[in-house]
Chain A
Amino acid sequence: MSKKVCEKCVLDSEIPGITINEESGLCHFCETYAPLSSEEKDEYVARMEELFEEHKGKHKYDMIFALSGGKDSSYTLYKLKNKYPFLKILAVQFDNGFTSENAVANAKKMCEIAGCDYFKLTMEKDILYDTFRKAAESHDVFPKVAKYRASDICNTCISIIKQKLIEQAIVQKAPFVVFAFTGAQSPNPIINLSANFIQWSRKLFEKQLQEMGIDDRDELFLIKKDVIENIGNDAPIMLHPLCLWDYNENTIIKNLVEIGWLPPDINDSNSTNCTLNSFACYNHLDKYDIHPYAFDIAGIVRSGDMSREEGLEKLHKELSQPLIEEAANKLKLKLK
């Protein structure tokens, strides 16, 4: 059967699990697409502002912010602090062993501009490489839905970041944890976490790590048990403000560069900060035949924030062979 591409987004019938309706020419996701209306977005923004008012200034930090130094998190931090200058923010950059030099410089620079504290979360490189090697070698550790959201390597990395940032928020008694996810990556702008849910998420990730052959007995990646036990009644609230704002990649990069953000020093159309990303995409495609950015790009195109042509070009752009080889060497993995 010949390949059919959704007439609205970029998903096609060769991606496992995707069918294109012969009559409408659309994929199932475009057919059932129900974006947040501008009224709903306004309501979420108002709710977020109420929460800021209610919780601000009670402890050293109001917010623990996940800052990769890439375009989305740099932009979100800048805009958040511009709109709400009273927020006391601790920006945490997780150095996964593959963070580009410019990404580190950009994270520090953005904190300087925005007036936030910067903390670089580092771990031993050998431990990180071993973890990502095991993630690359794993099969079906994450649920099917997660395979469409990100590669196994990225899902592992993001899970570590979430665990450690929530841990940091509990320790610092910061009421908010913020991630710069686009609407396509996470459509829920405000998530009230609870101790039960945090505990449950921890168990799920612990099991995923174990299935990869990783025993995190030192709780390097998981939220420390004694931290969860002392959480009390004040679990942090997770916020995704970027999904409430207009999103245009080119405009975001242009605006950031104007204020001193350095353009990416890596040749990866899907990441401006991580030198492991190309290998992660290659590995995911090899294992599952699913491009881990297909749904993200499709979502941005579906929402009108990127043209379909741009999306298709981005999705089908060849992965960087030098980056793939460099990461494979570090992970001591052979390429096919």
Chain B
Amino acid sequence: METIKKDILNYLNNKSFMDGNTQLNDNDSLTQNGIMDSIGLIELMDYICEKYSIEIPEDMLTPENFDSLQGITDLIVKLTE
């Protein structure tokens, strides 16, 4: 789980211009904290589907599942189990 979280954090660092010193807690909202917008979310989804060879079911695509490091990590764990 920590590896997945680190991978997503790396992605965000690389793609979202998140400052190196930005403190992002596991449950912080990516959209409310100005890290992601809807286009960024689409790109992140694409990355996750490709990297983890999963498809994200439509009903799981909600802010609860996809708007925080923890939510995204849990989602990937659930879909790769």
Which A residues form the contact surface with B (CB < 8 A)?
Answer: 17, 28, 32, 140, 142-146, 148-149, 186-188, 191-192, 194-197, 200-201, 204-205, 235
Q: Whole-angstrom distance from the CB of B60 to the nearest CB of chain A?
A: 8
B31 touches A186 (CB 8 A): no
Our pick among B36, B61, B63 for the contact of A145 (Cβ within 8 Å) is B36
Cα A146 to Cα B42 in complex, Å, equals 13
Q: Which residues of A contact B61 (CB under 8 A)?
A: 194, 196-197, 200
Q: Which residues of A contact B46 (CB under 8 A)?
A: 187-188
Q: Which residue of A lies closest to B46 (CB)?
A: A188
| A interface footprint on B39-68 (CB within 8 Å = 1, 0 otherwise) | 111110010000000000011011100000
Q: Which residues of B contact A191 (CB under 8 A)?
A: 42
* B14 contacts chain A at the CB level, 8 A cutoff: yes
Q: Which residues of B contact A192 (CB under 8 A)?
A: 58
A143 touches B58 (CB 8 A): no
Our pick among A148, A149, A194, A204 for the contact of B58 (Cβ within 8 Å) is A194
A188 touches B62 (CB 8 A): no
Q: Which residue of B lies closest to A17 (CB)?
A: B17
Q: Which residues of B contact A204 (CB under 8 A)?
A: 31, 37-38
Q: Whole-angstrom distance from the CB of B61 to the nearest CB of chain A?
A: 5
- Contact size range, B: 20 to 34
A188 touches B14 (CB 8 A): no
Beyond the given pairs A143-B34, A235-B58, 17 more chain A to chain B contacts, judged by CB atoms under 8 angstroms and listed by A's residue number, are: A32-B14, A140-B34, A142-B34, A142-B37, A143-B36, A143-B37, A144-B17, A146-B39, A194-B58, A194-B61, A195-B58, A196-B58, A196-B59, A200-B38, A200-B61, A200-B63, A204-B31
Cα A98 to Cα B16 in complex, Å, equals 30
Cα A140 to Cα B34 in complex, Å, equals 8
Tell me whether A144 and B34 are in contact in the complex, defined as CB-CB below 8 angstroms, given that A188-B43, A191-B42 are known contacts: yes
Q: Which residues of B contact A149 (CB under 8 A)?
A: 39
* B8 contacts chain A at the CB level, 8 A cutoff: no
Q: Which residues of B contact A144 (CB under 8 A)?
A: 16-18, 34-35
Listed residue (A28, A143, A191, A204) with the most chain B CB atoms within 10 angstroms of its CB: A143
Listed residue (A186, A192, A197) with the most chain B CB atoms within 10 angstroms of its CB: A197
* B6 contacts chain A at the CB level, 8 A cutoff: no
Q: Which residues of B contact A17 (CB under 8 A)?
A: 17
Q: Which residues of A contact B41 (CB under 8 A)?
A: 197, 200
Tell me whether A143 and B16 are in contact in the complex, defined as CB-CB below 8 angstroms, given that A195-B58, A200-B63 are known contacts: yes
Q: Which residue of A lies closest to B57 (CB)?
A: A194
Q: Whole-angstrom distance from the CB of B36 to the nearest CB of chain A?
A: 6
Q: Which residues of A contact B31 (CB under 8 A)?
A: 143, 204
Q: Whole-angstrom distance from the CB of A8 to the nearest CB of chain B?
A: 17
Cα A20 to Cα B18 in complex, Å, equals 17
Q: Whole-angstrom distance from the CB of B48 to the nearest CB of chain A?
A: 12
The 6 closest A-B pairs by CB, nearest first: A194-B58, A201-B38, A143-B34, A145-B16, A144-B17, A17-B17
